[in-house]
Amino acid sequence: MIRIGEIQESIRIAFEGLQANKLRSFLTTLGVVIGITFVILMGWFLNGLDTALESTVNLLGTDVMYIDKWSWSGGQNWRKTMQRKNITYQQAMEFCNSMKTAEVSLPEAHKWGTTVKERGRTITGISVIGVPYSYSQLPAGTILYGRFFSQFEDEYSTNVTVLGYGVAKALFPEGDAIGRTIKIGGRTFEIIGVIIKRGTMMMDFVDNQVIIPISTFFGIYGMTGRSISVAVKAGSAEKLDEVRAESTGLMRSIRNVPPGEEEDFSINETETFKEQVETLRLATWGIGIGLTLLSFIVGIIGIMNIMFVSVTERTKEIGIRKSLGAKSSSILTQFLVESASLCLVGALIAFTFCSVVIAVAVHLVPEADFLTPYVPPQLILIAAIVSIIVGILAGIVPAMRASALDPVEALRYES
Amino acid sequence: MSTPLIHIEHIARTYEMGGETVHALRDVSLDIHPNEYVALMGPSGSGKSTLMNILGCLDTPSSGVYTFKGLDVNEMTDDDLAEIRNKEIGFVFQTFNLLPRATALKNIELPLIYSGVSSEERKERAIKALEDVGLGDRMLHRPNELSGGQRQRVAAARALVTKPSIILADEPTGNLDTKTGIEIMKLFQDLWSKGNTVILVTHEEDIARHARRIIRIRDGKVESDTINPNPVTKFELP
């Protein structure tokens, strides 16, 4: 049985050894430092990715799907998608009027890359979205302050607008947007509300948009020459299959897709994002694990080597300890603790290094707000455990050699 | 006569060296009783160090019987032997064998760590042992900050701190000047007079003359085993 006193003694010896050979210890742990750095950075990035995915899914709504000419996943043949006919406003309205299973369905018209002006200031790259008043029932239409436009304002093509969070922040940093006016497509609009912040780095465009009544939209930009998206809110995640089935059937019939032929539209769901994120996640894992394993192998070889040197250098010490009553298990523990401590110090260096890297990265790329500005605590624990395991793996053979030394031979050893 | 602390009977120790069998010990039998002061004497290569290693449970005989306090050493596992070394035997080596990076106090605490003594008690006993050898003011010195005699006294304190049955000293004055050597021999004399059992391994007649019994080893055998009629009891410089 190993006693606590022996383990304390082993830790003390290990750190004395580290202090006595600072440069050697540092160089030895370099492999582990790199390995742990990969573990922490990979974990940090994946953690951020999960947060981003979660907020993206939440902002779109887990029970919301978009019927579009385009596919979000981009997996399909691009040329083929290009050749699809636009979804017209009439088709969209026919769909919405016939839809039975969904809670809400409504058309959305988009105008990308427009310019919005407020007194002297101009912001470019803004999307103008024309929607009916029922848009406020979608998660994407949640109001931060002010209100959404009414049915009356919608039907009478009023020049009112609800700003995306990003636009509101850029033009009215003090939060006094309501009641002010901005120019969209050369016309003056009264601001009546601001949408909550929804964007993440993956979807930051959703905050850079202005929402206007769809009738007003058509008055400015025209009804033809664009493809309308249909937003469908199932009402609950359980109803998704049913609503998807009805949507597919309904849209095929409206767009006269003959039986057996491929659809000429896409049903985009939050699931698509999950798939995309999963691909990114797998790629990160693949590269990360590969690099981590490689550096750990290098690290283990380095530590094993230095532990063999240490055992040889301290043969006499092992003999002395054995003559004083140290059992083989005590010597084994001592050297395992030493190599584990070496790795733990490596983990500490890696942790410090990663903290700096993460702080700088988050500072330099403020858009990456899905990434935490610190090392997630669970990663510190994982890194510590991994480093101890690596230390034990690297130390086990030298430690066994040390513990098996014959006391008489060891005492006789002169370095 | 009391039951022997050490009883060896017809023990032999052979080594394989470069394909040849070396007979380091051949047919050695002897008993050592509590509170004896024994010198194991012999020239270099006589087998006295091998015998000391066996007596100190650092090594085991190739054949023959060795019982320590009535227990058969041949039957013991490595861990049992480690425990005997820890609790029953205090080694004092010619080269002191102190850990260079540890302070005098830490060196003395070492055997107590392996016997599972709590840290407070360890420290207390180590301080006491250091004070007993007159080095109470050198506790935090490392071996390279101590003189040879002081180092050997630290080694003696380390050997005594577990209150062992036997002090086994291998050429304890070999690396010391005459004056310091005398100091150390006085220390052993004191230990013996306080009831300890002391076994001294030496090739020097002057040193052996301190012991009450002298066992001479030659060519791996006991050449003679005699009571010393005139042990040295005065410790003065020649």
ipTM rounded to 2 decimals: 0.94
B58 Cβ under 8 Å from any chain A Cβ: yes
Query: What band does B113 get if pLDDT is binned at 50, 70 and 90?
Result: very high
Q: Which residues in chain A are contacts of B113 at CB distance < 8 A?
A: 3, 5-6, 9
- Surface of A (374-413) touching B: CB under 8 A: 407-408, 411
CB A189 within 8 A of CB A211: no
Confidence label for A106 from pLDDT (cuts 50, 70 and 90): very high
A284 falls in which pLDDT band (50, 70, 90)? confident
pLDDT for A225 equals: 85
Map tokens 């005459």 to a residue: B178
Q: For residue B202, tell me if it sits in a domain.
A: yes
What pLDDT is recorded for position A10? 85
User: Considering the domain boundaries, does residue B48 fall inside one?
Assistant: yes
Q: What is the mean pLDDT of residues A265-270?
A: 85
Q: Is residue B137 part of a domain?
A: yes
Strand-pairing partners, residue B218, are: B221
pLDDT 10s digits, B177-207 = 888 888 889 989 988 998 999 999 999 898 8
Domain total of chain B: 1
CATH number assigned to the domain comprising residue B160: 3.40.50.300
Confidence of residue A74 (pLDDT cuts 50, 70, 90): low
**Structure tokens belonging to residue B19:** 């394909």
Residue A75 has pLDDT above 70, yes or no: no
Residue B223 belongs to a domain = yes
User: For position A382, what pLDDT does the model report?
Assistant: 87
DSSP, residue by residue, A223-259: SSSSPPEEEEE-SSGGGHHHHHHHHHHHHHHHTTPPT
Give the sheet arrangement for strand B213-218, strand by strand.
Answer: B89-92, B166-170, B197-202, B37-41, B213-218, B221-227
The DSSP bridge pattern shows strands A160-163 and A209-213 to be antiparallel
Give the tens place of pLDDT for each residue, B78-112. 999 999 999 999 999 989 999 998 999 999 999 99
pLDDT score of A14: 84
Q: Please answer whether residues A163 and A214 qualify as being in contact, where contact means their C-beta atoms are separated by less than 8 angstroms.
A: no
Over pLDDT 90: what percentage of chain A? 44
pLDDT, position A330: 92
Residue B50: predicted pLDDT: 92
Rg over alpha carbons for chain A, rounded to the nearest Å, is: 32
| Whole-number pLDDT of residue A151 | 92
Residue in B97, B125, B201 to test binding to A, most A beta-carbons within 10 Å: B97
- B23 assigned to some structural domain: no
Q: Of A366 and B59, which is predicted with more confidence?
A: B59
pLDDT at A53 > cutoff 80: no
Asked if residue B8 is part of any domain, the answer here is no
Each residue's pLDDT tens digit, B53-65:
999 999 999 999 9
- What is the residue range of B223's domain? 34-57+75-227
Terminal-to-terminal C-alpha distance of chain A: 31
Decide if B114 touches A, using CB distance below 8 A. yes
Confidence band for A276, pLDDT divided at 50, 70 and 90: confident
Chain A residues close to B82, C-beta within 8 Å: 322, 325-328
Residue B146: partners with Cβ closer than 8 Å, 6 or more residues away: B104, B138, B154
Across the interface, whether the CB atoms of B82 and A16 are under 8 A apart is answered no
Alpha carbons B225 and B204: distance in angstroms, whole number: 16
Tell whether B56 lies on the interface with A, counting CB pairs under 8 A. Answer: yes
Q: Is B66 on the interface with A (CB under 8 A)?
A: no
**Range in A78-87, A224-233, B34-43, B148-157 with the lowest mean pLDDT:** A78-87
Domain assignment present for B150: yes
Per-residue pLDDT, averaged over B27-40, amounts to 95
Contact with chain A for residue B13, Cβ under 8 A: no
pLDDT higher than 60, residue A202:
no
Give me the mean pLDDT over the A364-375 stretch.
77
Residue A415 confidence class, pLDDT cut points 50, 70, 90: low
Rounded-to-10 torsion of CA B12, B15, B20, B21: 10
Mean pLDDT score, A282-286: 84
A120 vs B154, higher pLDDT: B154
Residue B34 has pLDDT above 70, yes or no: yes
Residue B64 belongs to some domain of the structure: no
In this predicted structure, what is the pLDDT of residue B175? Answer: 84
User: Residue A338 is which amino acid?
Assistant: E
pLDDT at B231 over 60: yes
Beta bridge partners of B89: B166
Q: Is the dihedral of CA B45, B51, B56, B60 positive or negative?
A: positive
